[in-house]
Amino acid sequence: MSTLATLPAPVVVFREEQNFDWRVYILCGLLEIVTILGCAHGRTWSFELVITLAGALAVGAFLIAVLLHMTTEANPAVVRVWFGWAPIYRRVVLISSIRQVEVVSFRPIADYGFWGFGWGKNGERALFARGNQGVRITLNDGSRLLIGSQRPVALATAIETVLHPGG
């Protein structure tokens, strides 16, 4: 009889879940209204129109509920950031690939164009859901990643702790 060895799951040293900024939800709601009005404009009410409008409303609500959520997690091996309750987009950074960590303030729209994920003018990758604070990670290859956080000091401390254990 053979036994299967299992490895223990890495201990999570930081976890944060964030919903997006309220303005993103307003924009999504307005886009949904415009879509519904566009579908209904100039058409007489019929079963097909009602089904189309209900479908548009359901798709919009589904996307808002499923995608507009950001989770950040750090353990001794990696820092993970993902969007959505069922992760649609995920970024994983090996702790061993991190050179520097710093807490920063930023301007979401002016610096990165919108909330979510994007690039800054200097090529820096950014992942954030709300607020104007985060942690900038410089990787060994010189690239940089900004992770938005409502608890940036705790995130930076957690990464530094696993990056430099005992020190």
pLDDT of residue 16: 96
pLDDT of residue 140: 96
pLDDT of residue 160: 95
pLDDT of residue 167: 66
Count CB atoms within 10 A of the CB of residue 43. 11
pLDDT of residue 165: 83
Q: What is the chain written as a DSSP string?
A: ------PPPPPPSEEEEEEPPHHHHHHHHHHHHHHHHHHHTT----HHHHHHHHHHHHHHHHHHHHHSEEEEEE-SSEEEEEETTTTSEEEEEEGGGEEEEEEEE--HHHHHSSSEEEE-TTS-EEEESSSSEEEEEEETTS-EEEEE-SSHHHHHHHHHHHHSTT-
State percent of the chain over pLDDT 70. 92
Q: Evaluate if residue 5 carries a pLDDT over 80.
A: no
Tell me the domain boundaries of the chain: 14-167
Distance from chain centroid for Cα 3: 39
pLDDT of residue 133: 96
**Average pLDDT score, the chain:** 85
**pLDDT tens by residue, 14-70:** 999 998 888 877 887 888 778 777 777 777 777 777 787 788 778 777 777 777 889
Which CATH number describes the domain made up of 14-167?
2.30.29
pLDDT of residue 38: 75
pLDDT of residue 18: 93
pLDDT of residue 7: 63
Q: Evaluate if residue 144 carries a pLDDT over 90.
A: yes
What value does the mean pLDDT take over residues 130-138?
95
